[in-house]
């Protein structure tokens, strides 16, 4: 069988994978609606003859059998079994422009093969099926394939066998340890880890690999690597966005994600806490922090705006994000009209919207969990008393000092001191007195001890960390449909509810809340969430999901390349109690994951885009990991977990690009060398070295990163002061331990003599720079 691939974007190399256009392939005689017919109808007909009442032409719908077979004005679009009597057939084969369907002005054109498929479908009785993703996943037994025992491999290899293809050989142990380390923890293996793994593999490769995977899954860096995967979807960044883009504090939410993943919090709980943690009985501080998920929307601080407009916009974003992240559906399309392709009415959209429309958006003050707030508050009061008493006792010292001040000298003082001095002594505030005393007393004066402690306590208690959270309004906001999505045009009032096409929503109380929505999402009856999430895990490992359109499982999405495998994984996910770590383990232990990624001549003709996975896929590392790998290779990496975002060096002038110039004070010490996930991200002026490698902008949910490959990336790796500093450190390693070691630190493997020869022609600094610039260093092979 010959497969034909059409790229979804005309860019080819930029977006590495391409969509399989299954409808183009020659079909076995039996036409199947979901696989063969619906994609054609959805792409070409549903916009005018589909679910959206308002857009429907000639009162004809083709998305249901009733609609297609109904007779209107003596015309029947589809007469099952009789193509010659079916108007649809007459119209798609029509030669006169005014009769042709789809009409010329739509710009849509059916291929001869597509016309033939529709005709044969009618011939065979025009059976309709429900869209596959709206049916619950079915547990199917993996096919029996000689030599394959892992269920994933059995699904993959059975399909390969149909095409007469075989999987690739197992990748060598060096490639394998680098691959699985980068995939699970986002860091390359250390030279010691490599040596141990190679030794253990020689004895028992299976046991060595299993042990390696176990070790990586319990490494706390796992939470950082997969936390970033989730933060992309949560559209996390450290500023308010829009034009003013002021900084915000919400990194506690980031740390919550990392910790939850490290603890392997079951994904259903992970979901409920983020969508509605504040509504759980006796919600803990952590559960409240988790609701930061939906606070990652932008806030417009521009003058003259209509605040309600932007509040409504943020709710639109929350609805769209919830739909995309958990349901893999573009519910956002029904904001302005009934969905044109998926059965979601505009009214249903606003019922969904109603769940997310009744919140206050407060800031939560968060204390270090090791802090005893009560004791500290008591101490703070006590210190304040002591301080006031001290100041009273020693008032004379101040008066004497003050009396001796000349007018000229006073002018040289800071404005704060001058302001304090302008107030009569008796009327000065505690702050002013502390300031004045602080400037006249010697460094070892007893006053300082009390005063410094007071400052510490004040910082700990009053200007500690805050994080943005959700809180339900005491009385829900009224929600209405907005005509054309325009908030100035309210129409019918609606109550919270979920789309009828999906599983039933059990209404546990009069006024359902976000908590009920969250529980509906993780209900075992939900046909979508488990599939959507396992598909996104798969995508990280192979560069493309089993469903290529990872954010659209609706009718416009692409069909799964391996539908039975997808269902099998989804069922496993539920049976393994929503454990993400179990799913990771399952996938990375398959041969499909562990095979070599090198291209093979026979695959180029049959499967040039590697959809069938007869080999692994080389993948350029994510932006943050490009940094992490360079840091690790050069020995500079700080392994510190969590905490406030940091400010590694960035090129001059970058922060002046936005409307408001923002400060960027470069972090000191090890904070300069933290992992990329901890770099402060301003939405409007993102750090260039992350931005050029396609880190998402945080404006909307990102469920799949692009992998571009550009000259600006080359300039960054060659010239950026940060990367140059890494190269200088790597140069020291070359000088101390030799080129061979430095090469291994970057690629995990040993250099070949011809490679070494190229590097030896360079001075040591340039050799270090070359190593950090290698395609292989930036790539998971």
Partner 1 sequence: MNPDHALREITRRHFFSRCSLGVGSIALASLMAERGLAAAPTANLRNPFEPKPTHFPAKAKKIIFLFMAGGPSQLELFDYKPKLTDLNGQPIPDSYVAGKRFAFMDSTHRTNLLGTKRTFKRRGQSGAWVSDLLPHTAGIVDEISLLTTCKGELFNHAPAKLFMNAGSGLFGRPSMGAWVTYGLGSECDDLPGFVVLQSGPRGPRGGAVLWGSGILPTTYQGVPLRNQGDPIVNLSTPQSVSVAQQRQLVDAVRELNLKRLIETGDGEISTRINAYEMAYRMQTSAPELMDISGESQTTLDLYGIKDLKETSFARNCLLARRLVERGVRFVQLYDTNWDHHGGPTENLEKHLPLKCLDVDQSSAALVRDLKQRGLLDDTIVIWGGEFGRTPMGEVRESTGRNHHIDAFTMWFAGGGFKAGQVYGQTDEFGFGAVEEPVHVHDIHATLLHQLGLDHERLSVRSQGLDFRLTGVSRAKVVKGLLEA
Interactions with partner 1, residue window 193-222 (CB under 8 A): none
Structure tokens at 605: 């003709």
**Residue matched to tokens 């994080």:** 467
**Distance in angstroms (rounded) separating the CA atoms of residues 328 and 524:** 16
**What is the residue-wise DSSP string for 448-516?**
HHHHHHHHHHHHHHHS-EEEE--EE-SSPPPEEEEGGG-TTSEEEEE-----TTSS-----SSS--HHH
- Give me the least distance between CB of 600 and partner 1, in Å please: 8
Q: Which is nearer to partner 1, 59 or 306 (CB)?
A: 306
Minimum CB separation of residue 679 from partner 1 in Å reads 16
The nearest distance, CB 212 to partner 1, in angstroms, is 23
In whole angstroms, give the CA distance from residue 518 to residue 586: 27
Q: Which of 618, 635, 638, 643 binds partner 1 (CB under 8 A)?
A: 618
Q: How crowded is the C-beta side of 187, counted as CA atoms within 13 Å?
A: 28
Q: Point out which span in 445-453, 495-503, 734-742, 756-764 binds partner 1 (CB under 8 A).
A: 756-764
Is 552 a residue that touches partner 1 (CB under 8 A)? yes
d(CA 683, CA 697): 6
State the nearest-atom distance from the C-beta of 351 to partner 1, in Å: 20
Site for partner 1, residues 85 to 114, rule: CB under 8 A: 107
Among 111, 129, 419, 488, binds partner 1 (CB under 8 A): 488
* Torsion of Cα atoms, 324 then 330 then 336 then 342, to 10°: -150
User: Among residues 119 and 311, whose Cβ is nearest to partner 1?
Assistant: 311
Q: Is 620 in the site for partner 1 (CB under 8 A)?
A: yes
What is each CA distance from 159 to 137, 263, 532, 618, in whole angstroms? 19, 36, 22, 22
Of 232, 150, 267, nearest to 591 (Cα)? Answer: 150
- Cβ 706 to partner 1 shortest distance, Å: 5
The answer to the question of residue 324 lying near partner 1 (CB under 8 A) is yes
Footprint (CB under 8 A) of partner 1, residues 680-709? 683-686, 688, 691-692, 694, 697, 699-700, 706, 708-709
Choose between 256 and 553: whose C-beta lies nearer to partner 1.
553
Binding partner 1 (rule: CB under 8 A), the pick from 69, 249, 556, 579 is 556
Q: 107 phi and psi, to 5 degrees? A: 75, 5
**Residues 492-521, mask of contacts with partner 1 (x by CB under 8 A):** ------------------------------
Q: Pairing state of beta strands 363-366 and 465-468?
A: antiparallel
Residues 573-602 that bind partner 1 (CB under 8 A): 597-599, 601
* CA distances from residue 647 to 199, 728, 772 in whole angstroms, order as listed: 40, 20, 22
Shortest reach from residue 113's CB to partner 1, in Å: 21
Residue 9 or 473 having the CB closest to partner 1: 9
> Under the criterion CB under 8 A, does residue 286 sit at the interface with partner 1?
no
The nearest distance, CB 714 to partner 1, in angstroms, is 4
Please identify which residue in 245, 255, 567, 622 interacts with partner 1, judged by CB under 8 A. 245
Asked if residues 497 and 319 have their Cβ atoms less than 8 Å apart, the reply is: no
Q: How far is CA 578 from the centre of its chain?
A: 19
How many chain residues bind partner 1 (CB under 8 A)? 99
- Residue 734 interacts with partner 1 (CB under 8 A): yes or no: no
Six token digits for residue 24: 């183009």
The residues facing 733 across adjacent strands are none
Residue nearer to partner 1 on the CB measure, 433 or 685: 685
* Shortest reach from residue 520's CB to partner 1, in Å: 21
In the complex, least distance from residue 755 CB atom to partner 1, rounded to whole angstroms: 6
- Which is nearer to partner 1, 145 or 631 (by Cβ)? 631
Cα–Cα nearest to 166, from 483, 553, 614, 499: 614
Q: Which residue's CB is nearer to partner 1, number 101 or number 329?
A: 329
- Alpha-carbon span 416 to 421, nearest angstrom: 9
Smallest gap from residue 720 Cβ to partner 1 (A):
5
Query: Which residue's CB is nearer to partner 1, number 29 or number 304?
Result: 304
- Return the residue of 458, 714, 735, 750 that touches partner 1, per CB under 8 A: 714
Q: Taking CB under 8 A as the rule, does residue 557 contact partner 1?
A: yes
Angle of CA points 418, 419, 423, to nearest 5° = 110
Q: Smallest distance from the beta carbon of 685 to partner 1, in angstroms? A: 6
**Structure tokens of 267?**
């994904």
Per DSSP bridges, beta strands 619-620 and 779-780 are antiparallel
Q: Output 586 or 684, the one with its CB closest to partner 1.
A: 684
Min CB(70)–partner 1 separation in Å: 28
- For residue 461, the minimal CB distance to partner 1 (Å) is 36
Helix axis angle for 205-217 and 191-203, nearest 10°, is 140
Which residue, 445 or 697, is less far from partner 1 as judged by CB?
Answer: 697
Near partner 1 by CB under 8 A: residue from 545, 554, 645, 676:
554
From residue 4 to residue 43, the character string flagging contacts with partner 1 as x (rule: CB under 8 A) and all else as - is: ---xxxxxxxxxx---------------------------
For partner 1, the closer CB: 460 or 756: 756
Which of 332, 497, 560, 645 touches partner 1 by CB under 8 A? 332
Can you tell me which residue has the tokens 């009856």?
Answer: 525
Q: How far is residue 524's CA from residue 421's CA, in Å, rounded to a whole number?
A: 70
Q: What Cα–Cα distance (Å) separates residue 434 from each residue in 57, 407, 416? A: 78, 22, 12
Q: Which is nearer to partner 1, 146 or 653 (by Cβ)?
A: 653
For partner 1, the closer of residues 202 and 715 by Cβ is 715
Q: How far apart are alpha carbons 101 and 45 in whole angstroms?
A: 8
| Residue 543 · residue 619 · CB < 8 Å | yes
Q: CA 700 → CA 182, 206, 683, 747, distances in Å?
A: 26, 42, 11, 34
Asked if 740 touches partner 1 (CB under 8 A), the answer is: no
724 binds partner 1 (CB under 8 A): yes
Nearest approach in angstroms of CB 734 to partner 1 is: 14
How are beta strands 479-482 and 363-366 bridged, if at all? unpaired
Closest approach, Cβ 75 to partner 1, in A, equals 27
For partner 1, give the closer residue by CB, 182 or 260. 182
Restricted to residues 653-672, the positions that interact with partner 1 (CB under 8 A) are: 653-654, 656-661
Distances (CA, A) of 20 to 3, 605, 609: 8, 14, 9
Smallest distance, Å, CB 331 to partner 1?
A: 10
Among the listed residues 633, 652, 693, 644, the one whose alpha carbon sits nearest the alpha carbon of residue 671: 644
Site for partner 1 in 130-159 (CB under 8 A): none
Q: Which is nearer to partner 1, 582 or 697 (CB)?
A: 697
* E strands, 333-391, in order: 359-360, 363-366
Nearer to partner 1, 447 or 482 (CB): 482
Binding mask 382-421 for partner 1 (x = CB under 8 A): ----------------------------------------
295-314 positions binding partner 1, by CB under 8 A: 298, 300, 302-306
CB of 261 to partner 1, least distance (A): 25
Phi, psi of 75 (to 5 degrees): -115, 135
Rounded Cα distance between 576 and 15, Å, is 33
If the CB atoms of residues 560 and 686 are measured against partner 1, the closer one turns out to be 686
- Tell the burial category of 461 from Cβ atoms under 10 Å away from its Cβ (0-12, 13-18, 19+): middle
């Amino acid at each position: 069988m010959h497969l034909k691939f059409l790229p979804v974007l005309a860019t080819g190399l930029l977006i590495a994978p391409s969509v399989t256009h299954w409808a183009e392939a020659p079909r076995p005689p039996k036409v199947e609606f979901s696989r063969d017919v619906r994609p054609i109808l959805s792409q070409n007909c549903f916009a005018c003859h589909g679910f959206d009442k308002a857009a429907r032409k000639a009162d004809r719908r083709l998305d249901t059998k009733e609609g297609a077979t109904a007779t209107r004005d003596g015309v029947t679009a589809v007469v099952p079994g009789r193509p010659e009597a079916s108007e649809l057939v007459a119209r798609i084969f029509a030669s006169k422009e005014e009769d042709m369907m789809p009409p010329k002005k739509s710009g849509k054109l059916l291929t001869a093969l597509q016309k033939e498929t529709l005709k044969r479908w009618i011939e065979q009785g025009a059976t309709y099926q429900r869209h596959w993703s709206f049916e619950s996943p079915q547990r199917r037994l993996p096919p029996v394939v000689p030599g394959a025992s892992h269920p994933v491999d059995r699904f993959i290899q059975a399909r390969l066998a149909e095409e007469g293809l075989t999987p690739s050989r197992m990748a060598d142990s060096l490639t394998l340890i680098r691959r699985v380390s980068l995939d699970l923890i986002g860091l390359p293996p250390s030279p010691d880890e490599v040596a141990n793994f190679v030794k253990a593999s020689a004895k028992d490769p299976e046991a060595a690999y299993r042990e390696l995977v176990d070790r990586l899954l319990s490494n706390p860096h796992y939470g950082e690597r997969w936390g970033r995967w989730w933060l992309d979807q949560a559209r996390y960044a450290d500023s308010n966005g829009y034009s003013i883009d002021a900084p915000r504090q919400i990194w506690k939410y980031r740390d919550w994600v990392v910790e939850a993943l490290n603890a392997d919090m079951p994904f259903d709980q992970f979901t409920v806490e983020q969508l509605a943690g504040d509504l759980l009985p006796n919600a803990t501080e952590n559960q409240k922090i988790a609701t930061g998920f939906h606070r990652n929307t932008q806030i417009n601080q521009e003058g003259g705006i209509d605040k309600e407009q932007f509040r409504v916009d943020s709710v639109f974003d929350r609805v769209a994000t919830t739909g995309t992240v958990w349901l893999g559906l573009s519910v956002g399309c029904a904001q302005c009209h009934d969905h044109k392709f998926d059965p979601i009415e505009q009214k249903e959209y606003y019922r969904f919207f109603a769940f997310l429309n009744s919140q206050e958006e407060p800031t939560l003050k968060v204390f270090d969990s090791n802090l005893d707030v009560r004791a500290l508050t008591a101490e703070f009061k006590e210190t304040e008393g002591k301080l006031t008493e001290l100041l009273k006792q020693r008032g004379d010292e101040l008066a004497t000092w003050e009396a001796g001040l000349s007018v000229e000298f006073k002018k040289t003082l800071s404005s704060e001191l001058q302001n304090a001095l302008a107030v009569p002594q008796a009327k000065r505030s505690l702050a002013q007195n502390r300031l004045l005393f602080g400037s006249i007393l010697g460094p070892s004066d007893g006053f300082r001890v009390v005063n410094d402690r007071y400052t510490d306590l004040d910082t700990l208690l009053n200007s500690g960390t805050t994080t943005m959270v959700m809180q339900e309004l005491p009385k829900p906001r009224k929600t209405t449909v907005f005509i054309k999505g325009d908030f100035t045009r309210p129409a019918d009032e609606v109550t919270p509810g979920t789309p009828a096409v999906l599983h039933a929503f059990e209404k546990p109380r009069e006024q359902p809340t976000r908590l009920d929505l969250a529980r509906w999402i993780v209900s075992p009856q939900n046909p979508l969430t488990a599939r959507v999430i396992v598909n996104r895990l798969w995508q990280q490992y192979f560069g493309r999901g089993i469903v290529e359109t990872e954010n659209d499982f609706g009718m416009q999405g692409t069909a799964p390349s391996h539908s039975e495998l997808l269902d099998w994984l989804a069922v496993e996910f539920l049976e393994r109690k929503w454990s993400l770590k179990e799913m990771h383990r399952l996938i990375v232990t398959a041969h499909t994951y562990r095979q070599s990624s090198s291209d093979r001549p026979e695959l180029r003709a049959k499967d040039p885009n590697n959809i069938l996975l007869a080999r692994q896929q080389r993948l350029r590392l994510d932006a943050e990991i490009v940094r992490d790998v360079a840091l690790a290779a050069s020995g500079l990496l700080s392994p510190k977990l969590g905490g406030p975002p940091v400010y590694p060096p960035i090129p001059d002038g970058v922060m002046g690009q936005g409307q408001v110039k923002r400060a960027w004070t470069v972090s000191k010490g090890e904070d300069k060398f933290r992992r990329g996930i901890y770099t402060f991200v301003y939405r409007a002026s993102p750090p260039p070295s992350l931005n050029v490698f396609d880190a998402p902008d945080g404006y909307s949910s990102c469920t799949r990163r692009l992998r571009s490959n550009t000259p600006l990336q080359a300039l960054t790796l060659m010239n950026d002061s940060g990367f140059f500093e890494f190269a200088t450190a790597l140069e020291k390693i070359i000088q101390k331990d030799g080129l061979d070691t430095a090469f291994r630190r970057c690629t995990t493997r040993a250099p070949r003599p011809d490679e070494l020869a190229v590097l030896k022609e360079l001075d040591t600094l340039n050799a270090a720079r070359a190593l950090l610039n290698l395609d292989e260093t930036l790539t998971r092979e």
